[in-house]
Structure 1
Amino acid sequence: MAESAPQDIHPHGRPDGRRHSILSEFLPESLPMPPSFLATSPIVREILSRDIAECSSESDEHSEHEQDHEHEHAVSDSDSESHTASHHRHASDAKLAFHPNGVAYGLGYSAVPIQGLDRPVPNPHEVEESLQAEVDLLRDNDIIPPSTAHHQSWPRRGSVVGRLYRHIFSTRARDHDEPIFSNVAYETTPLLHSDDSASEHLLPTPPADEIHERFEEAVAAHSVKTSWQREAKTLVMYSAPLIATFLLHYSVTIGSVLTVGRLGMVELAAVNLATMTASITCYVPVQGLATCLDTLCSQAYGSGHKHLVGLQAQRMTWMLWILMIPIAFLWWFSFPILRALVPSEETAELAALYLRVLILGMPGVAAFESGKRFVQSQGLFHATTYTLLIGAPLSFFQNWLFVFKFGWHFAGAATAMAVTQNLLPLLLVLYVRFVEGSQCWDGLSRKAFRNWGPMIKLALPGMIMIEAQFSVLEILTIAAGQFGTANLAAQSVLITITSTSFNIPFPLAIATSTRVANLIGAYLSDAARTTAKVAIVAAFTVGLFNLTILATLRRVLPKVFTDDEEVIGIVSRVILVCAVMQIFDSLAAVSHGILRGVGRQAIGGYANLFSYYLVALPISLSTAFSLGWELSGLWVGVTVGLAVVSALELLYLYNSDWDSAAAQAEARMRSEDINNAAAAERKPSVLSSSTSS
């Protein structure tokens, strides 16, 4: 693939003479990036090199143990290995591997976290997905034969139904009278063919090595195209499981709000204030710091040092637990602070009580964030989903049990949340212990208390950027409290509804970012542009769907959360603004995902911060207080801010040179390869002694 040249690059932008972006005077393509956006590969190599050096004394013993285990596995599964051997590919060859790192997020607010610039190392599961993605594109372009089942499922080509089917559903990028593969033979092609059936003229699918070779040749010849049907199918396939996972994760919060809403308006206002405070002071920083594991764990797993995956997760967990000590102290004595922020003393008192109970769930929050990265680095993305499939329903049951059955009332809702937060990582541990994923766990180690400096340096930028984005929500929550308890309670309902609806476009943005990045990395800039167009249309469709639901059910939805007529009236009025916001919320999320895919996440980050602090916040506060629009004014500002950021990002993407992005992606990959080779030469003894570990 290294020899595959990208399409001709026009030095000043697009072939029609336009520059990369009409905003280039302000946001040029070569925008200097601050340290928080610089490639973190040197830090990653430093962390892993130190850990490898510390583990080198144990490498012989670990290697011998692992070889024995692999030998036993080979004896018991020899047939299976012989079947899959032909599909083995090196991780560096996986150009279209799916890396849904964003699945680790899940708060679901109207912001897209900034991710690092490092390419995660594909694990075996992702390598197989990369192979299948190459097969799909080669089949769509008639470079290899279609599968027999797929071929036989098509209607007859000459019929009206057949033409309609191909126009709407067919993923083929071209429609040849004579397929390219008709006169091509592979190593697995039989010498004699039988014409007894209609399907036997189809050639067998070539083995993995030949697929990869033909894919490289097709890319070099610019013969790989894609269709909007293929990209739509891929985005649905990638985003659907993420949507289910995100909704399951956020359902834990929904269950708490639903339960508290039945207790009264003050309780509903208090849970909003407490939840937002907990998010800003704990949950968001924890998620921001844990993002560095996306790179560390995947690099450790991909380089063959599987035991370092568990070590990195341990180190981050201990780091987060220590960080939570001052946060717990803040929560325990939070009443005076909350009392100064909201006029209602009763609301502040209940919110402080909720926070004090949530201290019990802090260890589980940190462990679950590290645990998610631990399993995801191994390609076990379904492990989190299975865990939530058990934990989410149990959280609803616990809310009913503690609040109504035991009569603990408001404290019972906080207790149910804390128990669930500790239950989720325990379920994940059980999955790893008894199902899969234990290969990367060597037990607790004292080494987890060393080598913290580089990890903190790697983790802080992600935390700062995410914290800066989410802090706007806390400001708006405090502002809502100034209008009274009813408005604060209504704000709780509105945030829950809009956060739930955001769990559809956000996974779509993650899938789009992954697909665009993979296609750009494979020098398929035209295909990446097609994916972006499909994703934008999908985002608008999702936003329109959410708008319709919110506007149509504007009086039904608030009744699900509360029986208070005053709160229902406020929500049903303000939710119309939130309904309009859904369009821009979806477009902003997906456009930012596209920017991440083409390596322009710095521009998206700056656009987000600009729109939140210089557009959304001033408009929200001025319309809410100066014009007297109160809660409606707060959401008008957020809507305008999202409209601005989506317009800026889409305008930038429309005027960008995608061929240039592909060339820069190639340069980044080559730079990483050179740096990795140089690092290996500098530390040959350490790396060689630990290769088998």
Structure 2
Amino acid sequence: MSAFSSSSPQPIAQGRSEGRRHSILSEFLPESLPLPQSFLATSPVVREILTRDIAECSSEDELGSPSTPASSTVERESESDRQHHHVPDAKLAFHPNGVAYGCGYSTVPIQGLDKPVPNPREVEESVQAELSLLRDNAIIPPPHPRPRSTSLGARLYRHAFSTNVKDHEESVFPGAATETTPLLPEAAEEPLPTPPPDEICEQFEEAVAAQVIKTTWQREAATLIQYSIPLIVTFLLHYSVTIGSVLAVGRLGMVELAAVNLATMTASITCYVPVQGLATCLDTLCAQAWGSGRKHLVGLQAQRMTWMLWALMVPVAVLWWFSEPVLAVLVPRKEAAALAALFLRVHILGMPGVAALESGKRFVQSQGLFQVTTYALLIGAPASFLMNFLFVFWLGWGFAGAAAAMAITQNLLPLLLVMYVWLIDGSQCWNGLSRKAFRNWGPMTKLALPGMIMIEAQFSVLEILTIAAGRLGTTQLAAQSVVVCLTSISFNVPFPLAIATSTRVANLIGAHLSDAARTTAKVAIAAAVMVGSGNLLIFATLRKHLPCAFTGDDAVAQIASRVILVCAVMQIFDALAAVSHGILRGIGCQAIGGYANLFSYYLVALPISLSTAFALDWQLSGLWTGVTVGLAVVSVIELSYLYRADWESAAIQAQQRLASEDVTVEVKFKAPSDGNLGS
């Protein structure tokens, strides 16, 4: 096991640091970038869980037959795994925790959860990313060289869109021709073979050591688009399951629309968000199990988490069943509370699927099957809309039909994942149900609780605002439902961009390419401004039309249209805050963004929201004014920190952090006298 003392980083060579200390907003970063101690050591809980499972799973049904000695079985499996995983060192293609969809960022970092473990698909993407940068820097020639036109239009086009570094170092308007200037364009050369992966990685390492790797904003923009688009589609598909129920219920009446907002927000805070937070520990455990070569442990970890979540849902189900008296205290209209309680009671049927999906998506994601959840949603989301129509209107179930449609969809999604694993790919990590899944709950709980607490703290503000909207009246609560849906839809564009930015920045920092990481950060911030401006434009121009998609009540639509103007301004800060936190996460300093979020939500946004809504009688507009101000404060804090950060120091500390997180577990096996294998 590699040990690392969390001491100060090694000194940086003067010549190198002079060229790399700049800021995001003005050629980046002076001074130092202090990183929290939690990022300088891997969690001992992770090592404890893996060590115990490796020891306990050394049984004949998983490692060999009774006639096979334990030591030879383990030795042969390890050798096979080493041969199978003999791939070049991956640097540039690790996927983030939120890639499947919607697990979100914890507000405060969880110790030991930022160590990615490569799988063959990620290694392949890493090699392709390295190859792209090598070709951009003319270290490896392109496979199909083309003649370079010297016309002004061609030079302008290359300067604007080419990812080749040389095209941006050359002047668009070169001087007069000389004796060595070619009179005709260079002839096209023969196609060149692509070097093998080992050679690509070797050349990339040499180029990084020689500090000759550069990037362009065009390359980084193309990469962020490539990373973001699939995530945006997946996030929107997942949220459409909720949107389908809201759209159906909104046609039933104002009270029903208010009730569904109260019910879904209560379900999120008491079930969805805690489940997501607890399941974040699988991002590390499943990936580490896969990386260790013991694939059956991937299924065991996912199975254990599923049982744990199902057990924790029993008291939540009881709370939902008897929730009507509690909700009646929160909202003035008893009918809305009764309907919200009905929604929650029906929704209990979907709780097993929620837990199974959170574990299942990490089960497939750890194997590099990142699109499986998207495939499931491509079936589940349209099915959700169809079931809402059938249950609410065709069968006449009304409000309860929307809850039933959502519950069935939540159980359908994990079943689709199971079918994919069973019929297509991923079954190599599943050894069937095991009693071992009911052991070692203590260490896993210890690892999972921080994620749940931090994510819960971040999202609880929305529940408080929903309760406050309920105190303003049923009409205001119904309008709140419309506004929450619209702002959630719009957030599903900058948040995937933030995940993509976090991934790319972390990869470049890990490869010690701090200059390239700064370029990515600048592109991401510019993209956030563009996305936020686009959302602002849509909200401002369609503010009277958007609410009509959710409700036919004129009073609700009128209130929502006024609040949407406030939310339009919020879009800029919402996008900036999301992307800034993604950059901080990429450089290993998400603690700054996490604490900034907690400070801004509870000490800025919440007091302003409540005071303007009730003391100044701005009502729902006041609630969202506070949120807008809070997001503005978050953006200022995070961008200010990035302005002062030292990315060269971040790159050095990232290497130290990864070195400290190399987990090597040695387990000795012996054959007991009864012939069974044991630890």
User: What TM-score bracket applies, with the shorter chain setting the length?
Assistant: 0.7 to 0.9
2:676 aligns with: none
Cα deviation, 1:656-684, whole Å, max 9, x if unaligned, reads 000000010111122223xx34x44xx45
Residues 684 and 416 (structure 1), Cα distance of their counterparts in 2 relative to 1, 3 Å cut: same
Distance 2:410 2:594 in 1: 30
Aligned to 1:302: 291
Aligned partner of 1:99 in structure 2 is: 95
Matched, 1:283 2:272: yes
Q: Return the alpha-carbon distance in structure 1 between the equivalents of residues 584 and 21 of structure 2.
A: 22
Indicate the SS of the match to 2:166. coil
Q: CA deviation at 1:156?
A: 3.5
What SS does the aligned partner of 1:512 have?
helix
SS at match of 2:259: helix
User: How far off is 1:120 after superposition?
Assistant: 1.7
Question: Is the 8 Å Cα contact of residues 21 and 656 (structure 1) preserved in structure 2?
Answer: no
The secondary structure found in structure 2 opposite 1:122 is: coil
| 1:30 corresponding residue in structure 2 | 34
Q: How far did 1:143 drift?
A: 0.3
Instruction: Tell whether the 8 Å contact from 2:601 to 2:627 is kept in structure 1 after alignment.
Output: yes
Instruction: Decide which moves more: 198-207 or 156-165.
Output: 198-207
- Cα deviation for residue 612 of structure 1 reads 0.4
| Alpha-carbon contact 1:403-1:411 (below 8 Å) kept | yes
| Offset at residue 465 of structure 1 (A) | 0.4
Contact conserved, 1:13 with 1:19, CA < 8 A, in 2?
no
Q: Partner of 2:162 in structure 1?
A: 170
1:61 alignment partner, one of 60, 64, 74: 64
Summarize the Cα distance change of 1:123–1:650 in structure 2 as closer, same or farther, 3 Å threshold. same
State whether structure 2 residue 143 is matched by structure 1 residue 147: yes
Q: Does the C-alpha gap of structure 1 residues 277 and 12 become closer, same or farther in structure 2, counting only changes over 3 Å?
A: farther
Shift in alpha-carbon separation, 1:10–1:548, aligned structure 2, 3 A: farther
Q: Does 1:495 align with 2:484?
A: yes
**Distance change in 2, residues 1:685/1:669 (3 Å):** farther
Shift of 1:119: 1.4
Deviation, 1:202, is: 5.0
Q: Following TM superposition, by how much is the alpha carbon of 1:206 offset from its aligned partner in structure 2, in angstroms?
A: 1.1
- State the shift of 1:655 in Å: 1.0
Given that 2:33 and 2:650 are in contact with CA atoms closer than 8 Å, whether structure 1 keeps it comes out as no
SS at match of 1:102: helix
1:384 aligns with 2:367: no
Question: Residue 401 of structure 1 aligns with which residue?
Answer: 390
Hey, what does 1:360 align to over in structure 2?
A: 349
Alpha carbons of structure 1 residues 456 and 107: separation in structure 2 relative to 1, 3 Å: closer
C-alpha separation between the residues in 2 aligned to 1:50 and 1:293? 16
TM-score by length of 2: 0.88
Match of 1:334 in 2: 323
- Comparing 270-279 and 51-60, the one that deviates more: 51-60
Aligned residue for 1:106, secondary structure, equals: coil
Aligned twin of 1:517: 506
Deviations 1:231-267 (A, max 9, x none): 0000000111010000000000000000000000000
Report the alpha carbon displacement of residue 29 of structure 1 after superposing the two structures with TM: 4.0
CA distance in 2, matches of 1:305, 1:380: 17
Task: Rate the CA distance shift 1:131–1:19 in 2: closer, same or farther, 3 A.
Answer: closer
Match for residue 49 of structure 1? 51
8 A Cα contact 2:300 2:436, kept in partner: yes
Report the secondary structure of 1:174's partner residue: helix
Aligned to 2:192: 203
Amino acid across the alignment from 2:126: S
Aligned partners of 2:188, 2:551: CA distance in 1, in Å? 61
> What residue is the counterpart of 2:432 in the other structure?
443
User: How has the CA–CA distance of structure 1 residues 13 and 346 changed in structure 2, closer, same or farther, with 3 Å as cutoff?
Assistant: farther
Deviation, 1:57, is 2.5
**8 Å CA contact 1:353, 1:411 repeated in 2:** yes
Partner of 1:249: 238
Query: Is residue 137 of structure 1 aligned with residue 139 of structure 2?
Result: no
| 1:183 corresponds to | none
Contact 1:94-1:130 at 8 Å conserved across structures: yes
1:325 matched to 2:314? The reply is: yes
Q: Aligned partners of 2:591 and 2:584: how far apart in 1? A: 8
Alignment of 1:590-629 (within 5 A): 590-629=579-618
Deviations 1:277-318 (A, max 9, x none): 000000000000001111111111111111111100100000
Alpha carbons of structure 1 residues 102 and 399: separation in structure 2 relative to 1, 3 Å: same
Letter in structure 1 aligned against 2:150: G
Quick one: distance in 1 between partners of 2:169 and 2:661?
43
Once the two structures are superposed, residues 120-158 of structure 1 have per-residue CA deviations (whole angstroms, 9 ceiling, x without a partner) of: 20111111000000000000000001121xx44xx7430
Q: Is the 8 A contact 2:94 2:116 kept in 1?
A: no
Structure 2 counterpart of 1:413 = 402
Which residue of 2 is the match for residue 79 of structure 1?
Answer: none
Alignment of 1:509-548 (within 5 A): 509-548=498-537
Alpha-carbon distance between aligned partners in 2 of 1:19 and 1:201, rounded to the nearest angstrom: 43
**For each residue in 1:614-662, what CA deviation from the matched residue of structure 2 results, as whole angstroms up to 9, or x when unmatched?**
1100110111111110100000000000000011001101110000000
Displacement of 1:103 in angstroms is 2.4
Which stretch shifts more, 324-333 or 425-434? 425-434
**Deviation for aligned residue 1:13:** 8.7
Residues 82-97 of structure 1 aligned to structure 2 (within 5 Å): 90=86, 93-97=89-93
Pair 476,326 (structure 1): closer, same or farther in 2 beyond 3 Å: same
Asked if structure 2 preserves the Cα contact closer than 8 Å seen for 1:12 and 1:18, the reply is no
Q: Deviations over 1:402-421 (max 9, x none)?
A: 00001000001001011111
- The residue number in structure 2 matching 1:312 is 301
Q: Secondary structure at the match of 2:211?
A: coil
Amino acid at match of 2:492: N
Alignment of 1:6-17 (within 5 A): 8=12
Secondary structure class of the residue paired with 1:56: coil
Tell me: CA distance 1:121–1:169, structure 2 relative to 1, closer, same or farther (3 Å): same
In structure 2, the partner of 1:371 is: 360
State whether residues 96 and 130 of structure 1, in contact with CA within 8 Å, keep that contact through their aligned partners in structure 2. yes
Rounded to whole Å, the distance in 2 between the matches of 1:102 and 1:245 is 11
Q: How far is 1:171 from its partner?
A: 0.5
Whether 1:124 and 2:113 are equivalent positions in the alignment is: no
TM-score of the pair, normalised by structure 1: 0.86
Listed as ranges, the gaps of 5+ residues in structure 2 are 1-8, 77-82, 171-185, 671-679
Counterpart-to-counterpart distance in 1, 2:46 and 2:336: 45
Residues of 2 paired with 1:54 and 1:539: CA distance? 48
Partner AA of 2:47 in structure 1? R
Report percent identity of matched pairs: 72
Q: Aligned pair in 2 of structure 1 residues 38, 358: CA closer, same or farther (>3 Å)?
A: farther
Q: Which runs of 5+ in 1 are unaligned?
A: 72-84, 179-196, 687-693
Cα distance in 1, alignment partners of residues 617 and 140 from structure 2: 65
Question: How far has the Cα of 1:609 moved from its partner?
Answer: 0.3
Q: Identify which of structures 1 and 2 has the higher relative contact order when contacts are C-alpha pairs closer than 8 Å and 6+ apart.
A: 2
Structure 1 residue identity aligned to 2:286: C
Tell me if 1:157 matches 2:149.
yes
Task: Report how far residue 199 of structure 1 moved.
Answer: 4.3
Q: CA deviation at 1:321?
A: 0.2
One-letter code aligned to 2:54: I
CA contact (8 A) 1:6 1:659 kept: no
| Residue number among 253, 256, 264 corresponding to 1:267 in the alignment | 256
Q: 1:361–1:418: 8 Å Cα contact kept in structure 2?
A: yes
8 Å contact from structure 1 (residues 477, 491) kept in 2: yes
Structure 2 distance, partners of 1:385, 1:62, is 39
Which residue is 2:182 aligned to? none
CA distance in 1, matches of 2:23, 2:253: 58
